[in-house]
Structure 1
Amino acid sequence: MRTLLLIFFIIAAAHVSADDKFTVAKKDSETGLWGYVNKEESGRTLWFKRAKRVSFGTLGIGGGSKNELLTHGYEDEWVISPQYEDVAKEFSEGLAAVQLHGKVGYIDTLNRFVIEPKFESMKNLDGFSLGLAAVKINGKYGFIDKNGAFVIKPIYEYAENFRDNKLATVKQDGKFGAINLNGELVVPCKFPLEEAMTSVPFSNKPYREAKEQAAKDYAAGKYARTLDITTKAAAEADAKINGGGNGETRKITVKDENGLKSAYADDGSCVLSPIYDDIVPEDDNLLMIAQNGKWGVADAFGRIIIPAKYDIITYDDGASMIVADTGGRIGLYRTSGMMVLPPCLDGIDEFVDGKAIAYINYESGLVDTNGELTDSIVEKAFLKAVKMDESNAPRHEVTSLYNQILLACPDFAMAHNNIGIMDIEAEDYKEGMNRLKVAHKLEPENTEIAANLKQAKKDRNQRRWNRIGSALEVAAVVVGVATTAYTTVETIKHGSSGGGGGSMGAGDIGSGSGGGSSCAQILSEISRYENKLAKEAKSTGGKAAHEAGKNAAHRIAPDMVDGSTAMDLRVINSGKSLMRTYQKRIDELKRRARKKGCL
């Protein structure tokens, strides 16, 4: 009996996954539907970790539109997108009850139905407790295991999940009572309120006694039959969850009804109403849906995983990734509706072994199924934006690329720095100052950013004195004391400001490329790019040596060792291209330094 109890506790503990702790239910204000969001930093995807670094709560630079600007409008990390009429507040033992089309089923943390929707709607949805869940069918409540089979028959007017004390509240003839794990009524249904049974002194004596007896019976093995059923069901549910995929394939028939498409399950039930221009079945029970010229994703249960708002939607079944294109920018979603990368890529190839070649402004790198961008794709795009800026490209083109970079990597400090300088040059001082503050807080040790912020503050103070001076001079004319006012102004300017109040023009502020006017800034940038070049040379050299070794081995034993792939060579070539870019930048900076007499 002790062995059975131990097995039960091990399986129950295994169901309390990390995702259980991280996810919490939330209602979408726009659609009115429910999903689950990530509430813990440690459980966030890389993109959201970066976005949260520049959000209001971390940097404290202001809320409202500023907060939305820095997180690009993605305030919540939807682990499961809003697609249900009602849901349990959180997952319990790895599962959560959800209501879809008026029926209740149970999903895992990847949004896969472990128990399909077949039960009636209930007042309070929950997960599982002690391997059992209260459900409603034909107007009566009972308790099911994780296979969806009834362990305690549905005979009650109302029921709640079992508590840790091994008792569950039930209701019969309008009165509350309690049952144990064997379904035996151990507290008579005679209480008009549940609190009177469980909490009110004196009246809760039967409940307290039943709780003590339940603990003794549990230790004595009197619930062995129930535990055996729930333990086996939990193990089978685990096997289904760990098996991957989206469950058994459901046959879907797409019909044309008065020029609009609908979808029906094999049993004849309608899963998607005739409101769509097109419905295209895909693998893994997914359906591509078109509405008003836009595309989204639904599934064979009728869940709208991604609303129809994208220009193009494709499904990479090898990686189980949804690729969404809007306005020529591509983002990535999981089949649960979870966004792993917002629309920031200009192109993407098919995934191979969990990675795909991605493109930002014709620069290439790799992206994985977690949305992590590698192979310096963001830095390469950043260097291109810097060169565009230096060559006096149209401002909107430069800022567009910088913003695309920040959408891909929200905490890229130098991109914030450069946008801030461009804003100040365009006399959008408040926006520019905020950007520089963000950049400085992201990289407080970056001397170039610190110098730019310091200079911007000086310029701001000068603009303030100019406003004060103008106001005082006008007042002097009005009251006829121009000389006194002028003296006051000069005292404020040169006395309080600590010397001169001189202003450096916007053009003298160092650009994000390291083009500050001082020798210290130029030499600092030369050193920084030389370090980057050395690091990239080491990385690319190592990759090239590794591939050369593979190819040599392949020539010796082609049946045993694979040679380099096209993707391997593209990665190396991308690294070499970045090295050339770094070297060219160093050469430009050195020419500038020699011209200024710094070298």
Structure 2
Amino acid sequence: MKSVILTIFSLIILGCANNKLVAPVKFDGKYGFIEKNGNWYLEPKFDSIRNFTNGFADSYKNGKAGIINTKGELVIEHRYDFIGSIYDDRFLVLLNDKYNFIDLNGQLISPEFYDDAEDFSNGLAPIKFSENGKWGYINKEGKLQTDTIYDYVYDFNKKQAKVEIGNERFVINRKGEIIDTLKTDYKKTKRKLSLIGNSNSGTLGRVNRNGDIIMKGIYTSFGYVQKDKFWYNKQGKYGIADTTGTILIKPIYEYLTYFSDNGLALTKKGNKFGYINENGIVIIDFKFDDARGFRNGFAGVKVNGKWGFIDKKGRFVIEPKFDRIQDEFKPLNSESEKMYEYDYE
């Protein structure tokens, strides 16, 4: 009984450790990781690093990429031009403009390098052969799982994937067998909001699914929808509108991001950065020389040449003393995720 309790306790401790929030920062010319209290998690000794994904982070030395674990130990030597995040215990790597994959021991899974490749998903990865310029799939051992006959491929979702051959679109199983044929007019599906006009000439507009023009062609760009709002750009200035085309915030900002999960968006007015809420009310004044969006309760900001972190009320929780902030605060075992949530429709 005691051993069971100790095991459960150990798992809880391990889970808490893996959920520790850290951020990569640059200090005195080197990169390291800090915790949310500002203390060093890993001392600054890396030429460059990115944040952890599933317990691993890529680091750079002499222009080459390698992989470290959460203890800061080098598990993949610095020898690649690029290393992606880990999926299915495999890293996508680039070397001399060719792609391959390596396992957790740093071993290449295939003697052959490919013209192009995508991350593993459900045990299979799309690869593009140089011989015929076509796509196929390999398994985690690097063995070809399907024929290389596809003009374009998508990730496997459970046991099937969408593929394209010419103008035809199919669904295949893990053996490459066609199990369904899709309509060729799938790209013509009407979106909730579509674009008209040209962004280069500042004649971009927006129409709804019924074809009604909700915003005339006088804009440069539009953002994706968050809830029922989106940002727009008119002659270099940003504002916010809703999905009916009603202007909620006039174009007065030089910069405007999507809203973070705490309801604040990073904006720039004049030459200073601040934060507004969804109603356009300034929550944190425009007083920073540079800034990042909020993630996990913190936002990186720059004052007098140094970076620190603030909370949602604009108070410094980590004083500005870093040369650069490479990324936001994330858990050690976090998965790859986009900075902001929005509707691609």
Instruction: Confirm or deny a common fold (TM above 0.5).
Output: no
Which one has a bigger Cα radius of gyration?
A: 1
Greater helix fraction, Structure 1 or Structure 2: 1
TM-score normalised to structure 1 length: 0.20
TM-score normalised to structure 2 length: 0.33
Greater strand fraction, Structure 1 or Structure 2: 2
